[in-house]
């Protein structure tokens, strides 16, 4: 089974733009409007068997739309093996980012922090502010300028390769186990057959002695 990666974050941090860049498609709608991505969208990462999920932005609003997006996002988190948590360097580290990070940690899944909209030196100097979230895997990217996207693809390619190797190893182990089980079954049948013959021979000898 393929690994699944989910894009999580506030509205308008660039999740859909990154989804399109990583999948080489224009499936996800991109615009600066809250709620544009409501349902989960799926695609395959370029050159891999990995499945990428684009989700709507998590907000503090209590509207029906916000609740629907939350439900879809929670489903994506449950489905995913890896989480890409996106934030916006230009808006800075917001309280909601901290809340989302704490929520994602409860999933006990690998989390990569993607600091988006790092378009120049000024934004580069602000990336360190997000170290307060405590994630070891942090990447400065700019989906608008395609900065850092190739690095993410390389990471995903590596994950995909490891996954395929693990699957191949697992399949080989299963085949070996099946061969051993079949061999043992065959041996058991032969042993049972021999025991049956010996029992039959013993009964015949006993009958002959009585006669």
Confidence of residue 31 (pLDDT cuts 50, 70, 90): very low
Evaluate whether 143 touches 18 at the Cβ level (below 8 Å): yes
Confidence of residue 181 (pLDDT cuts 50, 70, 90): low
Q: How far is residue 133 from each of residues 80, 188, 192, measured CA to CA in Å? A: 21, 59, 65
Query: To which H or E segment does residue 90 belong?
Result: none
Span 35-45, pLDDT tens digits: 444 568 999 99
**What is the model's pTM?**
0.73
Q: What 3-state class would DSSP assign to 118?
A: coil
């Amino acid at each position: 089974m393929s690994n699944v990666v989910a894009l999580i974050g506030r509205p308008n941090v660039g999740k859909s733009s990154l989804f399109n860049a990583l999948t080489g498609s224009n499936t996800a709608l991109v615009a600066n409007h809250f709620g544009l991505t409501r349902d989960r969208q799926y695609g395959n990462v370029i050159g891999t068997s990995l499945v990428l999920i684009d989700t709507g932005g998590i907000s503090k609003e209590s509207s029906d739309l916000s609740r629907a997006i939350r439900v879809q996002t929670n489903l994506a988190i449950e489905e995913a093996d890896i989480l890409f948590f996106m934030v916006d360097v230009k808006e800075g580290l917001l309280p909601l980012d901290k809340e989302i990070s704490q929520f994602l940690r409860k999933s006990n899944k690998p989390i990569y922090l993607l600091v988006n909209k790092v378009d120049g030196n000024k934004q580069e100097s602000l990336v360190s502010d997000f170290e307060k979230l405590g994630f070891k895997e942090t990447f400065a990217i700019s989906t608008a300028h395609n900065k850092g996207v190739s690095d993410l693809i390389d990471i995903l390619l590596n994950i995909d390769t490891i996954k395929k190797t693990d699957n191949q190893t697992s399949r080989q182990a299963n085949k070996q186990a099946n061969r051993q089980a079949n061999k043992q079954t065959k041996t058991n049948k032969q042993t049972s057959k021999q025991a049956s013959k010996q029992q039959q021979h013993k009964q015949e000898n006993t009958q002959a002695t009585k006669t």
